[in-house]
Structure formats: C-alpha cells, structure tokens
Chains A and B, each alone.
Chain A
Amino acid sequence: MKRAGIFDEFAGGARAMAPLIVAVMPIGLVFGAVAAAKGLSSLEVLLMSALVFAGGSQFVAMDIWTHPASWSALAFSGLLVNIRHVLMSASIGTKMPAFSGPAKYAAMLLLADEIWAMAEFRAGGTRLTPAWYAGLALPFYCVWVLTSLAGSIAGAFVGDPKTIGLDFAFPAVFIVLVMGFWKGREAGAVLAASAVAAVIADQFLPGVWYIAAGAAAGVAATLFASQRREACA
C-alpha cells in the first residue's frame, strides 16, 4: 500500500473512533481520581492504565484493592472480568486476512470492547486493514493513559460523570452497533436469547458473568436455529 493510502486508512479509523475517544476521557479521569483516592501514586496509575488497558477490570481492581496489593486476587479478577476478550479475539481473528501473523497478535494487545466493536463493524462492510485498526486503537489507548494520569493528579477535583450522563455514552454506542446487527429472524433470536440470559444472570450471579451467560445463550440460539432448519429441509 502507498504511504498516502496508509495515512488515509489510519485517519479513517481515528475518525470512526472519535466519539468513543471523547466518551472515554471522563472515564479515564474518574479512574485516575479513584485510584489516587485508593493511595496509588501517579506513576502507578500511569503504569496500570498503560499495561493493563482494560477499564472494566481496572475499576474492579480498585474495588478490591488492599494494602499491600494482593497480586493473585487482582490477576484472578482481571482474568474473570476480561474473559469476554477470548470470544472477541476469536471472532475478529477470522476477519483479519490483511494482517500478518505477528501483526494479528500485536493488534490483539490493544483489544478493548470499543475497539473490537468498531473493528467488527468495519470488517462486516469492507476489508479491515492494519492501518485502519491502528487508527482505532492508538489514539484511544493514548487518551486512556493520559486521562488516567491527569485524573490521578487532579484527584478529588474530578466530578461524577453520571450527572451529565456521560457514563451512558458507551452503552449508547453498543446499542447503535446492536441495531446494525438486527437483520432477519435469526439475528433477532440471537439478540433476544442473549438479552434474557444476561438480565437473569445479572440478577443472580456476582461480577460480570452476565456477559458470558448472554454470549453463550446467543451462540446456543443460532446453533439451535440452524439445526432446526436442517431438520426441516
């Protein structure tokens, strides 16, 4: 690919990601402030956001943080909260023919819900290139790390993003993407099964098991539907 082509692809990815980049700013600030309140230094906050780069598990870690920190409990909770990434990388991994082997693994190091969702959407319409993916991932990553750092320095001055509704920005993006998947009866069955299972699991199970429950129910629904179709044919 020509140089200009790569730049255009990168810019395209970054443009597609722009609303999510704006939405992650207050969340990064709040994370930094929460972590500072738990006694983490700015350097420690910077390292956590840069190395872990998984908002959900970082907030859960702050919930169960102890002094001194228990590495085994924190690693285990990180594993549980992020187990959905296994499903996401398995799914997007089959849609990356433009990536070399090492590039695929490198890209997965920056996998996050928002980046994965935008990449899936892109791959559904056209060829997902490494440059487009980098445009999605790198600005988002930098903003997450820098706003966490800023939040830890600003500390208590950071307000609650709930009052201006910014905590709803991520669910809203996911709702828009779900609407894009709403095609035909079979997709409807997947979405319905996933929603019901996730809501029930959320009521009765701790933590983020509801995501695994919804994913399993959705996959089961599609397999059940295809089996029935074969039985009818």
Chain B
Amino acid sequence: MTLDPNTLLAIVAMAVATVLTRIGGLVLIRFVTIGPQQKRALDAIPPAVLMAVIAPTAFVTGPAETLAALATAIVATRLPLLAAVATGVIVVAVARASIGA
C-alpha cells in the first residue's frame, strides 16, 4: 500500500473540482430569483440532460446499441424499470454477438 504525494494531490484536486460542480447549482439558485420563466428552464433540465447523456449511445454508436435502446424504450411503456433494463442489456449482448459489433 503506497501513497504517492503527487497522486494524493491530484486526487484531492479532482475531489475539490467535483464538489464545486455538485454544490454549484445550489449556490446558483440562491442568487437567482425563480420566476415563471426560470422555473420553466429548470423543469426542462432533467429531460434535456438525460436525453443528451443517452443520445450518442442510442443513435450513433452502432446498430446493436440503437436496437437495444429501442427495445428498452418499448418495454418501458409496459413493464417496470428492472425488466426494461434487463431487456436492454440482453438485446445489446445478443445483437453485438450476432453482428460482431
């Protein structure tokens, strides 16, 4: 078990940077008055961020990922979260194995 001083400094610097982003939003909403327009913008953040995170995987990574994303979305309209996620994982594994992607 060794601990290099440069590595420790890097880890602490990364931790500080990450903490700043985590509490940054809380600080922001203390200083910005939340009117109807700001409220609408804040309400749009969760779907917009979630969609942005998955869009490259779902649409341009490869046919296996696109197919699995579609299957997950369809199952999600009928079955609970766990079933939809399991479907996605199984479809992507089978599709990658069969088309070699």
Contact surface of A with B, Cβ cutoff 8 Å: 18-19, 23, 40-44, 47-48, 51-54, 57-58, 61, 68-72, 74-76, 78-79, 82-94, 104-105, 108-109, 111, 113, 117, 120, 162-166, 168-169, 171-181, 187, 190-191, 193-195, 197-199, 202-203, 210-215, 217-219, 221-223, 226
Take A83-B21, A89-B22 as given contacts and tell me if A171 and B54 are in contact as well, using a CB distance cutoff of 8 Å: yes
Q: Give Cα A226 to B43, complex, Å.
A: 13
Roughly how many angstroms separate A52 CA and B14 CA in the complex, as a whole number? 6
Q: Given A171-B57, A178-B51, A219-B45 in contact, is the A85-B21 Cβ separation under 8 Å?
A: yes
B residues with a Cβ closer than 8 A to A are 1-4, 6-26, 28-29, 34, 37, 40-60, 65, 68-69, 72-73, 76-77, 81-82, 84-85, 87-94, 96
**What chain B residues lie within 8 Å of A117 (beta carbons)?**
46, 50
Q: A52-B11, A174-B53, A178-B47 are in contact. List 4 more A-B contacts (CB 8 A).
A: A43-B2, A51-B14, A82-B21, A191-B51
Name B65's closest neighbour in chain A (CB-CB).
A168
Which chain B residues lie closer than 8 Å to A177 at the CB level? 50
CB-defined contacts of B90 to chain A, threshold 8 Å: 165
Q: Are B3 and A43 in contact (CB under 8 A)?
A: yes
8 contacts between A and B (CB under 8 A): A51-B11, A51-B14, A171-B54, A181-B47, A194-B47, A197-B52, A211-B52, A218-B51
